Amino acid sequence: MLIAARPSRLYAYLVLLLLSGVRTEEARPLTWDHVFLETANGIQPHVAVWRSVRKHGETKTRKSRRTIALPKQVIDVLDEHLRWQKQERASKGTERSPAGPVLTTRFGEPLDAANVRRDFRGILARAARLPGIEITPSEWTPRELRHSFVSLLSDHGIPLETIALLVGHSSQTTTEAVYRKQLRPVITKGAEAMDDIFAEDQEREETGATGEGNAAA
């Protein structure tokens, strides 16, 4: 999907959603004064998620207001996006504000949810034409990338508590309820461990029984 999105204005937006787990309504109003692409005072590159396009401009919950360290790929993409945005503004003779929106339309306006969904499905349609890709664009929205973020972390063994903090949930219970399918690999670890434990016990019992039988013979 990211390969198909590479030439699009949405590329930085989609990379940010997939690799940082921010909500769609948190990414769209993000401004450059809340994006830090260099390490400073011992603090690594990060985004400060303080606003949302929800009513009143607040994040969904108090814990939704959070600071998220950025993976290298996100840093590189946002750095390239910033350089491109500066060039675009300069070519149009418009001044770029240091506190301006990170993600904009070609007219410099903040992204609109409906237009983003439309363009996203166009990207998926291009991705569907790539070898080995099977996807139905109409069934996907950018919000699915947050689900993918949770799934990738879960598969990588990241604890539920950490995932809940990263996605800005008020509790682990919320994360578990909303992303039940994505968290399945973590939830099944207990059962898998028990299978291994009792398989070892059963093997010892069978070995012991065989030994006793041989002794009796």
Q: Token digits for 42?
A: 């011992």
Please say if 179 is a catalytic residue: yes
**Which one of the listed residues 9, 23, 46, 66 is annotated catalytic?**
23
> Which one from 34, 54, 60, 96 is the annotated catalytic residue?
60
Residue pair 73/15 in contact (Cβ under 8 Å)? The answer is: yes
The DSSP annotation for 167-184 comes to HT-SSHHHHHHHTTTTTH
User: Do 103 and 111 contact (CB within 8 A), yes or no?
Assistant: yes
**Amino acid at the residue 162:** T
60 is catalytic: yes
Whether 146 is a known active-site residue: answer yes
Residues 6+ apart with CB under 8 A from 82: 32, 37
| Catalytic residue set | 23, 60, 146, 169, 179
